[in-house]
Structure 1
Amino acid sequence: MDAGGMEKQLVALMNKLGQGEFEFEVCCLRHPGVHAASLNAVHPVHALEKAEGFHLGVAWRLNRLIRRGFDLVHTHNMAPLIYASIATLGGTICPIFHGEHAQFTPSDAKQWRVLQRQLLYRACKAVHTVSSQQCEELIKMRIKHPALIPLINGVNITNFRPAADASEKAALRTAHGIPWPDCKLLGIVGRFGSFKRHLELIEAFEKIAPAHPDCRLIVVGDGGPNKDRVLEKMRNSALAERMHWCGHQQNVAPYIRMLDLLVVASSNEGLSNVTLEALASGVPVLSNKVCGADELILPGQGGWVKDVSTIDHLAEALHDCVSLSSSELHSVGDLGRLRAETLFSWDAMAQRYADRLKLLTGRA
């Protein structure tokens, strides 16, 4: 449960549903990770301490754990599904409910990887994605399952709320060490994976910043293979004084609330949790055309979904967004908040999962 949107959603889901008729135990292939501390103490966490590469002994340890008597194994992404399929003897000693949380990469589209999923899905009682577009993507690749459904993520609209006014945003920035209380503040939130495209965002910001002297950029997050490269690029930039790294934040709500624009330049998402959090916070989002973005954002209602796959396209889109007045950005953010309240509330998401878990365990 390292830092990441999927992990945070799962912890919140277990804490919510574990208050009633469901009991959860978490099994991490490697180590518990930073989000384990947020999990309610009634949910045990098991770490299998898997080393790099494939290790059959990990499947054996997982098998012994599952044989204690579980009603369902809920796997998330590919590696856990591989080990769970072996540990459950193809889903025969315990049914598997598998979740796909990320848009497929070109590597995932290779024939042997497609075949791998097709075979492993046979061990699953059901498969879910986090966006309808993901379901369509799987079907187009002929990776099908008779119980394939989208379970759209949700957001806690109480924790993530809009700032009351500009003065609250300024106060939040000051309180959290952001040295520009009155600027137009852009932000990116996430681990330093290459698919998040921090480096490209910094270059695009450098292109538009001279024409927008009131703009600043904050980077919220930690960990990931690109961390050193991104931080070095920020330090060495001619605009270093207009960028700020905030590190990992257990509670990102105030950091999102203080923004004027969230940038999701990712090349690959299943459904962006930070986009949901920004919508609930009344902060407009500039998103790349990645999986699920069009399901969250309508033009001018919560933000804009554009092709920002190149640095020039990203710079152009940033320029268009920051050229809007604060009141115009605020209006777009207000419509995003309305979408979060009516379509993507956390309670609605938790109920969708609860209904599915009951159905799969014969308790519906």
Structure 2
Amino acid sequence: MEKAVLFCPSKVWGGIEKNVRLRARFLGQSGVRVYVVLLDGCFADRFAGLENVSVIEVASRGGDFNFFVVANYVRILRKIDPDVVFAALKKDWWLVTLASKLAGVDRVVLYLGIARRVKSPVKFFVIFRLMKALLMVNSDSLRSAMLKHSRIFDERNVVRVYNGFALPAGERRPTDFRTQLNLSPGTVIVGCAGRFSPQKGFDLLPDILAGLPDNVHVVHVGEGEFEQEIKGAINQRPEAARIHFLGYQTDMGAFFQGIDLFLLCSRNEGMANVLNEAMSHGIPVVSTRVPGSEELLAHGRYGILTAVDDVSALARGVRSIMEGEQTFAPTELRAWIDCEFGLERMIRETRQLFFGPEQDRMNEGH
């Protein structure tokens, strides 16, 4: 049985963490023995009951030179003896790669979901050239950005694997936000989702709503370390009465089915999972022109794209959808996601990156 260790010692639950759970779930179902490394007390319950998936909790993730963490990781990896190690978070790249090599694991895959500056070229050179880790990115635009650092990255060690989503099965009972929030029947419900972070642009919501009619309300789901700071600033604005923070939600299908359109106002992304999810439910979207969104929306064919931080353009995008000036057929949105960004494709390409092509694995077994 193939074995994979996925490192995701995070204190927040966002798109990357959800994607680790998705990969763990479907790799486990496909017969891979999966071990997920989490911080003690953080999100183990969200991996409970997954087939062939076990959680290992660690007390600390350490820093770049925390040898106690390296020793613990080496101990874990030598005990499991995995075929591949995957690190979902950039701050873990160095320790996970070093521990993997000390433990004798040849294949190390590091994930990057958003464009970052290469602040430590020497460290990156050691990770990707000397220790020969592979970089997984989630969009072609992000892959192109990393390939500009030609001393570190090339066509062989940077692999694009789109985030995948399965189309919702059957009809879901949508969340009735108008009844739940005591809003009038004519209210337009705009959905937002994501962790509270300056990167996500939720601080722009009052200015966006200021350019829209009073019957437009925003419902937001998510958590994050900047929650109090961002909500506190928003609550100083009169538009706060039209912004409803719902926290973490378990039934995102009901959330997406209950909104009229979805808004992504991020300042930076790799490829936003929430856009995929919204479109897989046939929900029209407005997005800033962040990396990945142009690919996902086919340069405007399947949604409205605006400049980053342009609150007037974001408001116009919302208005054009709610007033029917621009329409996006739900069946076309769903078909596009299913064809280009399907879950089956993501798992197939992940397995190939983790374990090699199917034919290679068959040959190794003989």
Q: TM-score surpassing 0.5?
A: yes
1:337 and 1:36, CA in 2 relative to 1: closer, same or farther beyond 3 A?
same
Residue deviations 1:31-71, cap 9 Å, x none?
A: 35336424435422122221664422011100000011111
Asked if 2 retains the 8 angstrom alpha-carbon contact of 1:260 and 1:329, the reply is no
Distance 2:171 2:267 in 1: 27
Residue deviations 1:286-322, cap 9 Å, x none?
A: 1112111111003553312221x23xx2223322431
Question: What is the SS of the residue equivalent to 1:153?
Answer: coil
Alignment of 1:31-180 (within 5 A): 31=40, 33-34=42-43, 36-41=45-50, 42-50=52-60, 53-54=63-64, 55-68=66-79, 69-89=81-101, 92-104=104-116, 108-110=117-119, 113-122=120-129, 123-142=131-150, 143-145=152-154, 146-158=156-168, 172-174=176-178, 177=181, 179-180=183-184
Asked if 2 retains the 8 angstrom alpha-carbon contact of 1:196 and 1:265, the reply is yes
Asked if 2 retains the 8 angstrom alpha-carbon contact of 1:7 and 1:35, the reply is no
Matched, 1:196 2:200: yes
Comparing 320-329 with 128-137, greater Cα deviation is found at 320-329
Question: What is the SS of the residue equivalent to 1:287?
Answer: strand
Q: Runs of 4 or more off by more than 6 Å in structure 1?
A: none
Q: Which residue of 2 aligns with 1:280?
A: 280
Question: What is the SS of the residue equivalent to 2:165?
Answer: coil
1:247 and 1:325, CA in 2 relative to 1: closer, same or farther beyond 3 A?
closer
Question: What is the SS of the residue equivalent to 2:316?
Answer: helix
Residue deviations 1:269-294, cap 9 Å, x none?
A: 11110010011111122111211111
Residue 333 of structure 1, CA deviation = 4.4
Distance 1:140 1:323 in 2: 37
Residue 90 of structure 1, CA deviation = 6.2
1:328 and 1:298, CA in 2 relative to 1: closer, same or farther beyond 3 A?
farther
Residue 326 of structure 1, CA deviation = 5.4
Distance 1:244 1:8 in 2: 23
Question: What is the SS of the residue equivalent to 1:340?
Answer: helix
Residue deviations 1:96-149, cap 9 Å, x none?
A: 122212222xxx243xx2332222113235321111111100011333042321
2:188 to 184, 187, 208: 184
Q: Which residue of 1 aligns with 2:224?
A: 223
1:150 and 1:39, CA in 2 relative to 1: closer, same or farther beyond 3 A?
farther
Q: Which residue of 2 aligns with 1:358?
A: 355
Asked if 2 retains the 8 angstrom alpha-carbon contact of 1:100 and 1:130, the reply is yes
Alignment of 1:260-299 (within 5 A): 260-299=260-299
Distance 1:274 1:35 in 2: 22
Residue 203 of structure 1, CA deviation = 2.4
Distance 1:346 1:39 in 2: 21
CA RMSD of aligned residues (A): 2.7
1:175 and 1:341, CA in 2 relative to 1: closer, same or farther beyond 3 A?
farther
Extract unaligned runs of 5+ from structure 1: none
1:353 and 1:89, CA in 2 relative to 1: closer, same or farther beyond 3 A?
closer
Distance 1:36 1:81 in 2: 25
Identity rate, percent: 19
Question: What is the SS of the residue equivalent to 2:29?
Answer: coil
Asked if 1 retains the 8 angstrom alpha-carbon contact of 2:77 and 2:100, the reply is yes
Partner letter of residue 305 of structure 1?
L
Asked if 2 retains the 8 angstrom alpha-carbon contact of 1:98 and 1:124, the reply is no
Comparing 13-22 with 267-276, greater Cα deviation is found at 13-22
Using structure 2 for the length normalisation, give the TM-score: 0.84
Distance 1:91 1:282 in 2: 46
Comparing 288-297 with 89-98, greater Cα deviation is found at 89-98
Question: What is the SS of the residue equivalent to 2:218?
Answer: strand
Partner letter of residue 199 of structure 2?
F
Residue deviations 1:172-224, cap 9 Å, x none?
A: 32575574553111122001011001112332223x13xx1221111211122
1:326 and 1:254, CA in 2 relative to 1: closer, same or farther beyond 3 A?
farther
> How many equivalent pairs are there?
345
Asked if 1 retains the 8 angstrom alpha-carbon contact of 2:147 and 2:153, the reply is yes
